[in-house]
Amino acid sequence: MPAKTSKQPDLNNPYGYSEMEWAAQLDPAYAAARAEVRRLSVGEEGVLSVKVKELVVMGVLASRGLQYGVAAHMRRAVDYGATREELFEAIKAAAVPGGGVAYSVGVRALQALEQDGVFAPASPPPPSTGRRSKTARR
C-alpha cells in the first residue's frame, strides 16, 4: 500500500479548489468555520481512515455528476494510500445508487488521474518459459 505523501495539506483547502481560496478572502471567518467542519468530517480524527472517508465523499460527488470534485477527492484518497483498484471499486459501488452518471463521471476522473501519472505503472508479468506443466498436458 502506498504511503501518504509528504506534501503538507492546506487544511483550509486540501483539494486545491481555487474558488475556495477566492471565497475565503471574501469571508475569512466563514472559511475558517468550513475548515473546522471539514477537519471534523474528513480529517484524520475518528474511526474511519481518511482514505475511507474520501471514498465515501467521492461516491456522493460521482452520483451528483461532479467530476472535478471526484478527481480532487480521488487525489486525496491516493495521498492516504488508496490504489487505482480501490478507487475503481468505490466507483462501481457508487453506481448502484448513482447509476450511469456516477459510473461515467467516476471512470472519467479515474482515467484523468491515470493519464496524469498518479499511479505507478503496473509491473510486467513474469516471462513465460514456453513449457507446459505435466498436469496441464493431461
Contact 13, 24 (CB under 8 A): yes
Which tens digits make up the pLDDT trace of 23-50? 889 999 999 999 999 999 999 999 999 9
Q: Is residue 133 part of a domain?
A: no
Q: Is residue 69 part of a domain?
A: yes
Is residue 6 very low, low, confident or very high in pLDDT (cuts 50, 70, 90)? very low
Judgement on whether residues 38 and 82 belong to the same structural domain of the protein: no
Give residue 42's pLDDT: 93
Judgement on whether residues 104 and 65 belong to the same structural domain of the protein: yes
Q: What is the rounded distance in angstroms from the CA atom of residue 22 to the CA atom of residue 132?
A: 64
Give residue 17's pLDDT: 79
Nine-digit cell string for 45: 480524527
Judgement on whether residues 65 and 36 belong to the same structural domain of the protein: no
pLDDT at position 10 over 70: no
Give residue 109's pLDDT: 97
Q: Concatenate the DSSP letters of all residues of 77-108 into one string.
A: HHHTT--HHHHHHHHHHHHHHHHHHHHHHHHH
Q: Is residue 39 part of a domain?
A: yes
Q: Is residue 72 part of a domain?
A: yes
Judgement on whether residues 40 and 54 belong to the same structural domain of the protein: no
* Domain that includes residue 112, residue range: 48-120
Nine-digit cell string for 76: 486525496
Q: Grid cell 503538507 — which residue?
A: 8
Judgement on whether residues 53 and 68 belong to the same structural domain of the protein: yes
Q: Is residue 134 part of a domain?
A: no
Contact 83, 48 (CB under 8 A): no
